[in-house]
Structure formats: structure tokens, C-alpha cells
A = this chain, B = another copy of it.
Amino acid sequence: MEQILPHLDSVFSIDCVLFGFDGKELKILLIERNEEPFKDWWALPGNIVGADESLDQSASRILYELTGLRGIYMEQYYAFGDPNRHPQGRVITLAYYALIRLGGDKELRPISNYAKRANWLPITDLPKLAFDHQKIYDKGLEKIKRRIKHQPIAFELLPEKFTLTQLQHVYELVLGKKLDKRNFRKKIVSFGVLKELDEKQKGVSYRAATLYRFDKRKYAKLFGKEISF
């Protein structure tokens, strides 16, 4: 670390990969750029870190400005700093991911002034992305794939009350493979972090499934032990 801090022409930003789940598909939030460079391209939402913000605060603010959401599980996962990643100068960016349940209750607040529009697009059919955002997204997906095996992040994608089938569905989408129903249930229940409710699913035209809730207290007690898929 230097004693005398040089005045450098560099910018530090945060880009966010917001994974959303609507009950069917995994999606990410993208904005359509309205200015050069990469005018009309889709890009990850991001912004510059404020002078008096910590990184996590900054990420929360950015998420809030872009979606109106607060209290979402977010984590930094990688810094991208290729000198040529931004055509207009040196921009080092720190990538965060967040997991969000879509639809139903809250609608997302429209995006501020960044873009023509913002949209949740299914990850199975993404457009070409501006800058190195494809790389940032790829690494983010990789990250949550690994993370979901060890940490209870899947619940962030689901409503507070959910069925085991929905939970399994999330795992299958993120991991990109089918899981065995009985083995999945056996294992997930054996972790002891789910609370079975007295309630049943509603509005389905078939046998209603039991609802569960993620039990943060029980999870806190487990801390240190590794969950594993």
C-alpha cells in the first residue's frame, strides 16, 4: 500500500447479476442501453461506487435503485479489471449476484435513468451482452451453482412458503440437471432447516402439496457445519 496516494484516472463500479425465479424459469435482469458505447445492446445493471459507501452498501443501493428491492441476499464474487474492458477508460468492476423471487406480490419499480428499458430475460435465451458482461454473467452462474450446493440460497428465489417440488425445481434449474424426488426430499429434510407448515398449497387443480418455510433459526445453529448436495 502506498503512502502517497496518486491521483488516478480510474473508475470503480459494481455490476449486478440479478437472478430471478418466477416459478418456471430462471431469469436475469438486463437493461437495454440508450447511449454509446453499446447503444441498443443489453447489459447488466451496474453503477459507480460512491465515495462514502462501503462496497456492500453500494451494491444494496444499486439494487434498490434498479429494482426497488431491499433486504436481498447479495454477495460479491469477482472483480473484472481488464484494461480494455471499457472502451472509454479504465473501469474496474466488482460483480455481485442477488437472488430474487419474481412476480406475485411486489412488482419491481422501474429502472432509473440508465436505459431505454429493463427486462427479466430467461437465461436459456440471452441476447449478446455489452462490454464483458457475458463473462461476468457466466462466472456468476458458475458461482451460484457451486454456492447452492453448500448454502441455503435457493430459498431466496422462492416465496416464503413453498412446496418441496418447487424447491427441487429451483435446484434442478440452477444445477442444470434432474434430481431424484425421493432422494432430494430425504436429503433436504435431513438438514433440518425446513419447517413443515400446517398449510397446503392453494389454487391448483390437483392434490395440494404441503407448504414449508426455511427456518433461519435452525440454520443459524448449524453454522459451521457444511450442507452439501
Contact = CB atoms under 8 A, between A and B. Distances in A.
A91 B51 contact: no
Contacts of A48: 2, 6, 8
A205 interface: no
23 contacts: A1-B46, A1-B47, A1-B91, A1-B93, A1-B130, A2-B11, A2-B13, A5-B86, A8-B48, A8-B51, A10-B12, A10-B49, A10-B51, A49-B92, A52-B83, A53-B83, A54-B81, A55-B80, A55-B92, A76-B78, A76-B79, A79-B79, A81-B94
Interface string A140-178: 000000000000000000000000000000000000000
A36 to B, nearest CB: 7
A5 B79 contact: no
B53 A12 contact: no
A10 B6 CA distance: 9
Q: Which 10 A-B pairs have the closest CB atoms?
A: A55-B81, A3-B35, A5-B89, A1-B46, A54-B82, A52-B83, A5-B11, A79-B94, A79-B79, A12-B92
Interface in A1-43: 1-3, 5-13, 15, 35-36, 43
What is the size category of the interface that chain A forms with chain B? 35 or more
Interface in A96-153: 130-131
A190 interface: no
Contacts of A83: 51-54
A213 interface: no
B12 A9 contact: no
Interface in A43-63: 43, 46-49, 51-55, 58
A11 B11 contact: no
Contacts of A78: 76
